[in-house]
Amino acid sequence: MPRRSIYRGSNQLSGEVRITMPDVVASHLIIPYLNDFSRTYPEINIQLLVTSHVLDLESHQADIALRILPKGDVDISDRLVARKLADLPSCCYGSPRYIEKSVPDDGHWLGWSGDDATLNWAKDTPYPQMPYQHQINHGLIQLEAVKSGLGLARLPCFLADGAEGVIRVPGAAPSSLHELWLVSNPEHRNVMRFKVFREFIVKLFSRLNDKLIGKA
C-alpha cells in the first residue's frame, strides 16, 4: 500500500485496517467478537487476510498480524513491534470410532505443514511410536480430517474441544507448545485506526483465557 494512503487521515477513526492471521484464529477467536469493534468504530473497514503464510509487515503486505509461534522460539524481526497475547494449549484428538478401531495398531498421526517427520511432540503422547502420515497446513481442514477418521492430530484446545465428532485421545494431556503474538509496524504506532484495533485485540485476549484452555 502506498505510504500516502496509509497515513492519510492518520488521526481519524476511519479507513482500512488489514490484519493477517491463521484460519483458526480468525474463525474461533476474532470473528465472534469483531462486531463489538465494528459497532464502536463503524467507519473503520477491517480486511482479514486469512493465511498460514507469514506476510511481510515491513513491505506493507498487511498492517497488523496475529501469529502462532513455537513457544520459546519466537522469530520476529526486531524492526517490528511484538506483544505476546496468550499461550495456546493444545491436545491430541481423534474421532471416537477411529480411536476405538484403529489406535494404536492401525493408527497414525496427522502433521502440520513444516512438521518434522518424526513429530517430536508425539513422544509426549500416549502413542509415541505410532507412525506419521499426511500433512495439512490449515487447522479447520485438519479438524475435518480428524472427524472423518483420517488420523489423530494435535489441535488447539479452543478449536477442538466441543467440536462435534471429536474427543481428546484418552490419556493425552494438554500443554502449551505455541503462543499467539500481536505484531505490527512501528511506523503505524500513532495511526489511530491501527492503534484502536491493537487495543481492541489486547483487551479481547485478556478475557479469553477460559476459551483458550478449552474443556475436556
- 70 vs 74, 84, 201, CA distance in Å? 6, 12, 20
CATH of segment(s) 3-87+177-213: 3.40.190.10
- Whether residue 2 is predicted with pLDDT greater than 80 in this model: the reply is no
pLDDT for 11 equals: 78
* Identical topology for domains 3-87+177-213 and 89-176: yes
Distance, in Å, from the CA atom of 198 to the CA atom of 191, rounded to the nearest integer, reads: 11
pLDDT for 4 equals: 41
The dihedrals phi and psi of 27, each to the nearest 5 degrees, come to -70, -35
Q: Domain ranges in the chain?
A: 3-87+177-213, 89-176
pLDDT for 121 equals: 83
Distance, in Å, from the CA atom of 46 to the CA atom of 105, rounded to the nearest integer, reads: 48
- Per DSSP (E only), the strands in the chain are 15-21, 44-50, 64-70, 81-94, 109-111, 132-135, 153-156, 167-168, 175-184
pTM of the model: 0.90
Residues 128-142 have pLDDT tens digits of 999 989 999 899 999
Q: How confident is the model at residue 113 (pLDDT cuts 50, 70, 90)?
A: confident
- Whether residue 3 is predicted with pLDDT greater than 70 in this model: the reply is no
> What value does the mean pLDDT of the chain take?
91
In contact, 146 and 153? CB cutoff 8 Å = yes
Distance, in Å, from the CA atom of 213 to the CA atom of 84, rounded to the nearest integer, reads: 16
Sequence-distant (6+) residues with CB within 8 A of 128 are 122
Residues 53-96 have pLDDT tens digits of 899 999 999 999 999 999 988 889 999 999 999 999 999 999 99
Architecture of domain 89-176: 3-Layer(aba) Sandwich (3.40)
- Whether residue 114 is predicted with pLDDT greater than 70 in this model: the reply is no
pLDDT for 79 equals: 94
Distance, in Å, from the CA atom of 77 to the CA atom of 183, rounded to the nearest integer, reads: 10
